[in-house]
């Protein structure tokens, strides 16, 4: 059975998947691409396995395939499986069984198909603290960093670092009453810290040296290609501390070249993490030092693709159509 299927695992509201599927259709490859939206898996998908391979049918698109046909999997932006209109305990059980089946299907293809990105790599690579350690080991510059629930350590840090910011250790958002609020990087002063020492005791907090910027740099790695975008976040008050405070379309941006040494470090970083795609964030200082901040191994890149004339989406398609190395 030939491997030819490009499987895109995502959710219904994903414009990145829409774009790549549209371009694959333009190449007359519509018979090879299949989209699996995970939120309605239990109602819209039929999956069977004999223990060695999986038969999958997507009901709304009437597309069917066998796991042995899968050439590549783009693990793009899946959502949790939704199980509604049932008693809570029953819903939880059905969801757990669906999730276990889906994980079985994922790992059935891991050894044979190209994954962008492999799940074991994703789970490890998204941890910020190991990202910082790896970046340092590869010779990248990083901000001075402290994560602790010890108030005295925080006070000592403020004695050593003139300007300090704080950010989330994990997901950069929180939920209150069903509403999602972004948790942006913000500058903190010693007075604020002293007023919240008890809070630090019960919640480990990430403190970091705040570094002045010339601009911010988003580096997308797709396979063996690098696309570096300068974002002039300092031109607007809303984006000066955290560029996410302003929509990309409202910010001056341009594709730029980066030093060969930094390219080498980036490729080493991605290879060590076992990734095929990365969205890495750097600060470029007024004296042109490149400071590593973090790596989002499933970050957004469509706005960069628009500035690059579609080169990122084409690179992603080429990667997905390439046999696993």
Examine the pLDDT at 280 and tell me if it is beyond 80. Answer: yes
At residue 52, the pLDDT reads 86
Task: Verify that 157 and 216 share a domain, yes or no.
Answer: no
On whether both 148 and 198 belong to a single domain, the answer is: yes
Cα 94 to chain center, whole Å? 28
User: Is pLDDT at 152 greater than 90 in this prediction?
Assistant: yes
pTM above 0.75, yes or no: yes
Judge whether 303 lies within some domain. yes
Domain boundary among 209, 232, 258: 209
Alpha carbon of 267 to those of 27, 218, 224, 256, 291: distances in Å?
Answer: 29, 15, 8, 17, 16
- pLDDT tens per residue across span 46-75: 999 998 899 999 999 999 999 999 999 999
Residue range 247-261, pLDDT digits in tens? 777 889 999 999 999
Looking at the fold, whether 196 and 152 belong to one and the same domain comes out as yes
Give me the chain's average pLDDT, please. 92
Specify if 129 maps to a domain: no
> What pLDDT is attached to residue 151?
94
- 72 - beta bridge partners? 6, 114
Domain count for the chain: 3
- The residues near 11 (Cβ < 8 Å, ≥ 6 apart) are 37, 38, 39, 77, 78, 79
């Amino acid at each position: 059975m030939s491997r030819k299927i490009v499987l895109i695992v995502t959710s219904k509201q994903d414009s990145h998947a829409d774009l790549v599927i549209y371009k694959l259709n333009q190449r007359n490859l519509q018979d090879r691409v299949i989209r699996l939206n995970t939120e309605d898996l239990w109602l819209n998908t039929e999956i069977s396995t004999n223990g060695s391979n999986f038969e999958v049918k997507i009901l709304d698109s009437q597309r069917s395939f066998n796991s042995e046909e899968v050439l590549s999997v783009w693990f793009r932006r899946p959502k949790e499986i939704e199980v509604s209109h049932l008693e809570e305990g029953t819903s939880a059980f059905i969801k757990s069984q669906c999730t276990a089946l889906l994980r079985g299907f994922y790992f059935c293809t891991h050894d044979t198909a190209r994954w962008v990105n492999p799940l074991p790599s994703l789970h490890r690579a998204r941890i910020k603290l190991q990202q910082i350690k790896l970046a340092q080991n590869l010779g990248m510059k990083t901000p001075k960093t402290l994560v602790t629930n010890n108030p005295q350590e925080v006070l000592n840090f403020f004695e050593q670092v003139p300007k300090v910011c704080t950010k989330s250790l994990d997901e950069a958002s929180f939920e209150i009453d069903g509403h999602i609020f972004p948790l942006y990087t913000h500058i903190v002063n010693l007075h604020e810290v002293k007023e919240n020492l008890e809070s630090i005791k019960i919640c480990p907090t990430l403190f970091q040296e705040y570094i002045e910027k010339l601009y911010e740099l988003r580096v997308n790695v797709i396979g063996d290609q690098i696309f570096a975008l300068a974002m002039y976040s300092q031109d607007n008050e809303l984006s000066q501390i955290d560029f996410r405070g302003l929509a990309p379309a409202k910010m001056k941006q341009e594709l730029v070249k980066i030093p060969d040494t930094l390219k080498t470090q980036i490729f080493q970083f991605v290879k060590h993490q076992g990734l095929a795609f990365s969205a890495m964030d750097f600060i470029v200082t007024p004296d042109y030092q490149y400071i590593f901040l973090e790596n989002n191994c499933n970050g957004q890149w469509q706005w960069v693709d628009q500035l690059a004339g579609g080169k990122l989406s084409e690179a992603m398609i080429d990667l997905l159509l390439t046999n696993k190395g």
